[in-house]
Structures are given as C-alpha cells and as structure tokens.
C-alpha cells in the first residue's frame, strides 16, 4: 500500500495515545498532530477543529470525526472533494442505552426521591406507577436512538420512535416526519432526544413541542444543547407541565457557573458524558474505514452534507 499522511486535530484530546494507536493500526501511514503551517495531509482525524485547519488542508480526501455528531464540522468550509465520515457506534450505543435506561428507570421508580429520603433518615414508600402510563418517546432512531429504543422495550415500557423516514424496529411504534411529530409527542410522557443537530432540528425542544408531551412529562436530552430552548424548559418545569429533566448537553459547555440549571432541583445534570468516544474502538473503526477507502470500497457512516448528518 502507498504511504499516506494523516493529520490529527482534535480539541480537548491527548494526541499521543491516538497517534500511537493509529500508527499501530496503519503502519503505512505517517501520523502527526496538526499545527499551523504543517505539511498537507491526505486524511484528517478531527474533533472540533478550527477553520484554519481546513483552509490549510485543501487536498484532504477524507475527514474522520472522532464522534457521532458532526454539527461542529458542518459549520465549517470543508474541502469539497473530502468525504466526512463519522463514528458509528464504536462502543457508544451500549453506553447510551445504559445511560438512558437508568434515567428512565430512576424517574419511573422515584429513585431520586428515595435517595433524598435516605439522606434525611426517612423510611417512606411511593405508590408504584403503571408502566403503561410511562410511554417513552425516542427522537432520532439512528445508530444510537435505535439501540436505546430497543433497550427500553426490554423493560416493557411502551416505546415510540420518531425519525425523518419511517422505521421498523421490533416493539417500537414508528412516527416519522414533521407531519407526525405532534402525534408522537402526545403519545409520550418521557422524551429522549437523540437527533443530530441540523438546521431542521435546532431548537426543536421548544415550548410548543414540549407542551405536547403528556402531563408530568420528563425530558432526557443526550444529543446537543442547541436542540433545547433552555428558558422554555424552565418555564414548563415551573408551570408543572414537566416534572423535570436530565440534561447531558448544553448550549455552552462547560455549563457556566451562574446558569439557572445548576439551581433547579428538578433538573439533573451530567457533563456531556452519556456516551464517550472510546479510543481503541474508534481507532479500529477508523483504520478499517481508511483501509476500505484505500481499496476503493464503499464506506458506511459517510455524512450527507445536504441533510447535515
Ligand atoms: P444517526 O445514526 O445519524 O441517526 C440520526 C437519527 O435522527 C436518524 O434516525 C434520522 O432519521 C433522525 N433525524 C435526523 N434529522 C431528522 C429530522 N429532521 N426529523 C426527524 N428525524 C431526524 O446518529 P446517531 O449516531 O444515532 O447519533 C445521534 C446524535 O447523538 C449525534 O448526532 C450526537 O449529536 C449525539 N451524541 C451525543 C453523545 C453524548 O455523549 N451526549 C454521544 C454521541 C452522540 P432517518 O433514520 O430517517 O435518517
Ligand atoms: C459526542 O457528543 C458525539 O457526538 O460523539
């Protein structure tokens, strides 16, 4: 195989183990960390790179994103001939399923209230709830959403799913397109967001849509902060229409210290950790796809720049 250059440009990531792993998986490649003025490369491995990176790398053939979501990349001017390839699962789907299932169960079983009671020495029972009263709606039924929806069916929650095109997942009621969004929301009490962030989905978790959830609705946002209109969530919690939310992603990350979400007891926060990029799985997937590219084989996980995901 001919030698080729990989340029690594990933924010908030220690490059050394990635370089060592990529080199071990692709010994014919020269792998280096990008710096301004670095020589031109054939392939990029990136996470939230600056525009300057692409301005200086106009000849790239492929851009591998070390995350599932490509919204940060879609905002940049990319070399038009380069394919953008995202991570597909790479160990994230099971993490997302465990995170969302524990959140739904925690909410359904009043486990936060039991934890509060235990802290003050109260032995209290809450009335068991009916699973049939807790239909869960999963927005986005892609690699992660489908895994989450199916995991929830194993706990026998009624599960609804909403996607752009109709889906056929066992035990999941399919809704699709803008025309079925209201029915999907009205059929759900707990809402899980696993949509990609695109112009069509930005601010989709707004007052009008969240108001359509069944009373005492609960929001789990594990996709992107810009899906959610933050003031609308607070207003709906304060009015009592929503009983609370679990948020893993925010418009500004890290969440600023003075943000009202920190002080809202009905909101539980985690720091964008529901499904982490796993280095070894990701390197194996990227190396496999680079091999496929070099052999001119078809690749899965190529982003459609028109759809934005
Ligand atoms: P994916 O495989 O591309 O799936 C996207 C799903 O969203 C598809 O079902 C798609 O419908 C649907 N969709 C897209 N636009 C839509 C629209 N306008 N209306 C209705 N449905 C729409 O993505 P994924 O790998 O599951 O990842 C989803 C997102 O999770 C990522 O984009 C990222 O933002 C987020 N994420 C977060 C974390 C974290 O730690 N918090 C980790 C990983 C990923 P079709 O099936 O019809 O195409
Ligand atoms: C993380 O948020 C990802 O998109 O992989």
Summarize pLDDT for 115-143 with one digit per residue, the tens.
999 999 999 999 999 999 999 999 999 99
Domain shared by 213 and 110, yes or no: yes
Residue 111 lies in a domain: yes
223-246 per-position pLDDT tens digit: 999 999 999 999 999 999 999 999
Shared-domain flag, residues 39 and 147: no
The residue-averaged pLDDT of 88-104 equals 98
Residues 44 and 60 grouped into a single domain: yes
Give, to the nearest 10 degrees, the angle between helix 143-154 and helix 92-108: 40
Read off the tokens for 125. 């029972």
**pLDDT computed for residue 60 by the predictor:** 97
Answer yes or no: do 65 and 171 share one domain. no
Could you tell me if the CB of 108 is within 6 A of ligand 1?
no
Residue 72 shares a structural domain with residue 107: no
Q: Using CA positions, which residue lies closest to atom 30 of ligand 1?
A: 223
Beta partners for residue 31, in sequence order: 6
Q: What is the DSSP string of 13-48?
A: --HHHHHHHHHHH-TTEEEEE--TTPPP-SEEEEES
Q: What would the pLDDT profile of 148-170 be if each residue is shown by its tens digit?
A: 999 999 999 999 999 999 999 99
| Number of separate domains in the chain | 2
Distance CA 65, CA 6 (A): 13
Q: Is residue 302 part of a domain?
A: no
pLDDT tier, 57 (very low <50, low <70, confident <90, very high otherwise): very high
Q: Does residue 308 lie within any of the structural domains?
A: no
* pLDDT confidence of residue 1: 53
For ligand 2, mutation pick of 275, 282, 308 (most atoms within 8 Å of CB): 275
The pLDDT of residue 3 is: 78
The pLDDT mean for the chain works out to 97
> Is residue 164 among the annotated active site residues?
no
* Active-site choice (272, 276, 279, 295): 272
Percent of the chain with pLDDT over 90: 99
Catalytic, 224? Answer yes
State the number of CA atoms in the 13 A half-sphere of 102 facing the CB.
8
- pLDDT confidence band for 93 (50 / 70 / 90): very high
242-262 average pLDDT score: 98
Q: Which protein residue has the closest C-alpha to ligand 2 atom 4?
A: 69
Q: Is the CB of 308 under 6 A from ligand 1?
A: no
Answer yes or no: is 213 within a domain: yes
Report how far residue 8's alpha carbon sits from residue 43's, in angstroms, rounded to the nearest whole number.
9
pLDDT at 2 over 90: no
**Pocket of ligand 2 from Cβ distances under 6 Å:** 67-69, 277
Residue with tokens 């692709």: 26
Tokens at 27, concatenated: 């010994």
Domain that holds residue 83: 4-90+277-294
Report the distance separating Cα 206 and Cα 279, nearest Å: 35
- Cα 196 to middle of ligand 1, angstroms: 4
Ligand 1 midpoint to CA 17 (Å): 28
Say if residue 129 is in the same domain as residue 263. yes
């Amino acid at each position: 195989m001919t030698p080729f250059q990989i340029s690594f440009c990933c924010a908030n990531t220690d490059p050394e183990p990635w370089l060592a792993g990529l080199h071990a998986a692709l010994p014919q490649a020269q792998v280096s960390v990008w710096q301004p003025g670095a020589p031109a490369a054939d392939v990029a491995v990136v996470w939230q790179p600056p525009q300057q990176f692409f301005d200086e790398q106009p000849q790239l053939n492929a851009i591998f994103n070390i995350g599932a979501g490509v919204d940060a990349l879609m905002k940049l001017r990319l070399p038009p001939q380069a394919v953008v390839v995202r991570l597909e699962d790479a160990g994230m789907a099971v993490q997302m399923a465990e995170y969302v299932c524990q959140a739904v169960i925690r909410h359904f079983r009043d486990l936060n209230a039991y934890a509060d009671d235990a802290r003050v020495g109260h032995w209290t029972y809450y009335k068991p709830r009916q699973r049939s009263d807790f239909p869960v709606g999963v927005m986005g039924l892609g690699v992660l959403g489908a895994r989450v929806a199916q995991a929830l069916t194993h706990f026998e929650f009624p599960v609804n799913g909403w996607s752009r095109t109709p889906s056929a997942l066992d035990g999941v009621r399919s809704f699709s397109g803008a025309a079925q969004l209201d029915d999907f929301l009205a059929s759900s009490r707990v809402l899980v967001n696993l949509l990609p962030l695109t112009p069509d989905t930005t601010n989709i978790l707004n007052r009008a849509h969240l108001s359509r959830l069944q009373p005492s609705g609960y929001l789990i946002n594990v996709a992107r902060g810009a899906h959610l209109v933050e003031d609308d969530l607070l207003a709906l919690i304060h009015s009592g229409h929503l009983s609370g939310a679990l948020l893993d992603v925010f418009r500004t990350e890290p969440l600023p210290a003075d943000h009202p979400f920190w002080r809202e007891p009905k909101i539980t926060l985690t720091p964008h950790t529901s499904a982490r990029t796993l280095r070894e799985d990701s390197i194996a997937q990227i190396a496999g796809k680079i091999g496929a590219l070099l052999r001119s084989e078809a690749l899965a996980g190529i982003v459609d720049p028109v759809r934005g995901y």
